[in-house]
Amino acid sequence: MTSNKNFMLRAIELSINSANNDGGPFGCVIVKNNKIISEGSNKVTLTNDPTAHAEVVSIREACKKLKTFNLTGCDLYSSCEPCPMCLSAIYWSHIDNIFYANTRDDAKKINFDDSLIYSEFSKKIEDRKIPIKQMLRDEALQAFKIWSKKTDKIEY
């Protein structure tokens, strides 16, 4: 695992530009073969999309550019430690390494607090803040049965 200071500086530059404009103070770049393949900044309020965090924006752009959902061989540089949603997206996209600058505690100090989400993960479903109720499992299992028998599926 090697890091490149210039990639992190670009992610930080994106976060500063975003903070100076209409986005949140977060930036991200994804690198493959020592070259930036995508950039992202926080666009939550610009697009009215709560999932438009810098990392997710950058992952979407990288996947589109590389025409794949698997970013193996790529490194991610984020101006801040990824939130739980972004961390999940990073794992799903199979990025090799994560580099970050600001910590989740730094983000918490400016009211980007993910501690509720982190605490919810360890709770039983029935104890979580947002009620979660299972329904129609037997009907929903039909899709899983079809998927498990499918011979031409693309696994991810």
Q: Is 55 in the active site?
A: yes
- Residue-wise pLDDT tens digits, 127-153: 999 999 989 999 999 999 999 999 998
pLDDT of residue 2: 63
Q: How far apart are CA 148 and CA 155, in angstroms?
A: 11
The CATH class for the domain spanning 1-155 reads: alpha beta
Catalytic residue among 13, 39, 55, 61: 55
Size of the chain, expressed as the number of residues it contains: 156
DSSP-derived secondary structure letter, 155? -
pLDDT of residue 1: 58
Against a cut of 0.95, is the pTM above it?
A: no
pLDDT of residue 103: 97
Q: Which residue has the tokens 């999932």?
A: 51
